[in-house]
Structures are given as structure tokens and as C-alpha cells.
Amino acid sequence: MCPAEKNSKAEDEGARAERSISKMKDLGKESVNFTEIGEDAAGQRIDNFLSRHLKGVPKSHIYRILRSGEVRVNKKRVDQTCRLQLGDLVRIPPVRLAERAETERVPVAEFPVLYEDDALLAINKPAGVAVHGGSGVSFGVIEQLRASRSDARLLELAHRLDRETSGVLLLAKKRSALVGLHEQLRDGKTDKRYLALALGQWKNAKQHVRLPLHKFTRPDGERRVMVREDGLESHTVFALQRAYGEFSLLEAQLKTGRTHQIRVHLAHLGYPIAGDEKYGDFARNKELAKQGLKRMFLHAYAIGFSHPLTGEALRVTAELPRDLERFLVRLSDSS
């Protein structure tokens, strides 16, 4: 059963949100809509369902109508973590939004396709592009792909990559495929590998790092992660690929999938990722930018998994981007 949102503060925020949209333009019908959940939406989170159902509506507004209790599932209040079940009846209120400027509309975009069939899509995500909108980002990969594939019945992220991380990103085109991929990711049955350039001389050919990670929010609202004893179990296997003087090219294999796991593990050990603006060496990053490294050197180069519908063993890879290759060549020439 979906948890009810009982926080009075959330209700106050919802009331304020309603007052703030009193002068907004109506983009939908002036009536409540009731939708019964079918197989395509079963198992989906309510916030993601609403994003698909209310095309063009910002996530911030979706969270407002959830907090205010206007959205109901089987006549009960729910929060954004509610997962819908087959046959659930969802109450969707009339949505009023400010008329959005043309520049704010989601642009149609495609990304390099690494693998695709009728159930799965794997793309090569470039650095600097968020996987989804929110937290100050109007839109991301998923919104752009949905805009370019408007006839797709379903298109959902199977996992996530940090905005500044490039590489393999899996998406599902069927609900059954999404559920199957999530099960593999949750049970540690996928093989996710990254390439990271760390500052410093890495000592071991192969090293298992088990450091618990804790997520927190700074006073300025920025979300961060740190190593802490009461954090979530986190396990990364690092393998040295090549030494470049004071740099080390590492392969990172994720045994768990925590937020910023590779970045925080390396920074905590004293080997921050080159170009990492959140956990890295900021003075060195400025120097590296002058030398041609304009981004964080972290690339999701491979993922192995079983096809969620056929059981076939699959391995999808993405070559190192040219800008990172060029930087390695520069380091090789100077070492």
C-alpha cells in the first residue's frame, strides 16, 4: 500500500502552491480525471506516472499537487514514492500552469544508440546532460527522448548517471523490461564498469573498497555524500589500467550502486577524480582545465546484464569520448 503524506508542513506548502498559481493559464480540462492503472503503468512510481500523463508539466508542480493531496490513489493521499498497482484508481486534478516560454519547451533530441530492440534502448549519454529534469534543470535525456519518440508507449530510465558522467545509459520500452532490469540492479546481477582518471599514483593492481556512504544536505541545499560508519554498505572494485605520472587510469566495477559512489570512495582515499567539481581538488581542476580537461574524467564504458525478457546475456559498451582520449594522449606524451 502506498504511504500517506501526513506532514502538516507539506499541506501548508501545498496551500501556498495553490495560491501561487491562481493567475496561471489553464492547460487542461477544468475537471478531475480518474485513470485506472493498466499493465503498462503497474509498478511505476506515481511521480513518474504523472510526468508521463501530464506532458510538459514540471516535476516541481507535480510534487506540489502530490503534497497538497490533490492526487489520490484509491481515494487515499500518497507521496511521490508510491508505486502503482494493476487496477489502482488514480485521481488527477485539473492542472493549471504558467504559460511557458518557447525557449523552455523540451527540445527534440536523439542520442547515439548503442543497442535497441522492442524492449530496451541503450544510449551513449554525453557529459553535461542530466538524465532527467529537476533540481534546477528544466529537462534531461528522458524528456528529450520522449519528445523525439512521441509515439513510444513507454520510455523509462532503468538507472541513472551523474550529469557530468558520460557513457552507457539503459532505458526500458516495456514495463516488464523495466521491472526485470530493476530486479537485476537491486540484486547485484549487472556488471557496471567505469573508467576514471584519479589524481595520484594508485598502489595496487586490484583493490576492493568497502566504505559505507551517507547522503546529506548542506545548509545551502546542495546534496552531498560522505563516508560514514552508519551509512549504506558500498563496494567498489578498482583495477589499475595505466599510470600517467601523477595520474592513474582506473577501472571501477560497481558492486553496489550508491549515489556518487566512485567519486566519494576515491576522494576519501586521497585519489579524487580529475575534474570533479564536487569532491575533487579544485586548484588542480583549474590547472587541468587549462590543459584541456574541461569535465570530470568519469565514463561508464560497459554494462553487462541478462535481457529481462529473453534471458540472453548482453554486454553494451561505449568508447571513451574523444576529449578524454585526447587528454590521455597529452599525458602520455608529457610523461
**DSSP three-state, residue 145:** helix
- Whether the CB-CB separation of 262 and 194 falls below 8 Å is answered with yes
CB 175 within 8 A of CB 323: no
3-state secondary structure of 27: coil
Q: Cell 525557449, residue?
A: 103
Q: Pick the catalytic residue: 47, 88, 162, 276?
A: 162
Distance of alpha carbon 133 from alpha carbon 149, whole angstroms: 17
Compute the distance between CA of residue 55 and CA of residue 57 in angstroms, rounded to an integer. 6
Q: How far apart are CA 2 and CA 5, in angstroms?
A: 9
Residue 261 backbone phi and psi in degrees, to 5:
-55, -55
Helix (H) or strand (E) holding 197: strand 191-199
**Is 162 in the active site?**
yes
128 Rama sector, left if φ>0, alpha if ψ -120 to 50, beta otherwise: left
Q: C-alpha grid cell for residue 202?
A: 594508485
Give 14's strand partners: none
CA torsion 21-26-31-36 (nearest 10°) is -90
Taking each helix axis from N to C end, the angle separating 8-20 and 59-67, rounded to the nearest 10 degrees, works out to 120
- Between CA 57 and CA 146 the distance in angstroms is 13
Longest C-alpha distance within the chain, in Å?
Answer: 68
Residue 157 contacts by C-beta under 8 Å, 6 or more apart in sequence?
131, 132, 141, 142, 169, 170, 171
> Could you count the other beta carbons within 10 Å of the beta carbon of residue 299?
25
Enumerate the active-site residues. 162
